[in-house]
């Protein structure tokens, strides 16, 4: 029986020592935690920052604007009259830079000379109403008379 008691005693001692160590560790651990992060709000913010979603679905125009400020800076598709060069580039260049279907090429003085000789009124009429392979207003029916005139002027300036 005394043998058993001895064993119980030593087991009890081991348990006591282990319990002591465990308490010590927990005290040290809590003191470390308390030292390094005094503010839990700050910690919480860091965690929220780390797990915040990469994107959110904007359900209002306001939110969309906020999410993509570039929207506002995006170039507005030419409202108002375009410059002569803009009209030429968007509506005339496709044919008149390559000479498609016999279009007089911009800069080709020989091709333009006899046409210029007809007078600007005829050129304007042909450009707006169409003339053989030349579709009315180059196919861009939204162009105003002034814009067509400006584009003709732009081409002629480079072709005489
Ligand atoms: C789809 C092709 C095409 C487009 C786009 C086009 N043209 Fe033409 N254009 C032609 C062709 C082809 C001719 C030559 C017609 C001919 O004399 O046989 C021509 C001729 C002309 C002439 C000379 C007309 C004449 O009396 O000799 C003018 C001026 C002209 N185009 C202006 C314009 C302007 C301005 C634009 C843009 C707004 C434009 N064109 C866009 C094909 C095009």
* Residue pLDDT, tens place only, 103-131: 999 999 999 999 999 999 999 999 999 99
For residue 139, report the distance from its CA to the centre of ligand 1, in Å. 10
Lowest mean pLDDT among 25-29, 62-66, 123-127, 135-139: 62-66
Enumerate residues 6+ apart whose C-beta is below 8 A from 100.
94, 133
83, 119, 123, 138: which to mutate for ligand 1, most atoms within 8 A of CB? 138
Q: Whose CA is closest to atom 37 on ligand 1?
A: 92
At residue 131, φ and ψ (nearest 5 deg) are -160, 110
Label residue 61 by pLDDT band (50, 70, 90). Answer: confident
Q: Which domains does the chain have, with CATH numbers?
A: 3-53 (no CATH), 84-158 (1.10.760.10)
Instruction: Please state whether the predicted TM-score (pTM) of the whole model is above 0.85.
Output: no
pLDDT, greater one: 48 or 63: 48
> What atom in ligand 1 is closest to the CA of residue 114?
27
């Amino acid at each position: 029986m005394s043998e058993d008691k001895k064993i119980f005693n030593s087991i009890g001692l081991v348990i006591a020592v282990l319990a002591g160590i465990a308490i010590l560790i927990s005290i040290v651990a809590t003191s470390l935690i308390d030292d390094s992060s005094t503010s839990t709000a700050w910690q919480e913010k860091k965690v929220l920052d780390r797990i915040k979603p990469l994107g959110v679905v904007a359900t209002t125009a306001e939110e969309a604007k906020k999410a993509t400020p570039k929207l506002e800076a995006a170039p507005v598709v030419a409202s108002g009259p375009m410059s002569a060069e803009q009209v030429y580039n968007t509506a005339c260049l496709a044919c008149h830079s390559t000479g498609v279907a016999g279009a007089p090429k911009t800069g080709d003085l020989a091709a333009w000379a006899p046409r210029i000789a007809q007078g600007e009124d005829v050129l304007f009429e042909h450009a707006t109403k169409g003339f053989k392979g030349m579709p009315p207003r180059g196919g861009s029916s939204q162009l105003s008379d002034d814009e067509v005139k400006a584009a003709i002027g732009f081409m002629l300036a480079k072709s005489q």
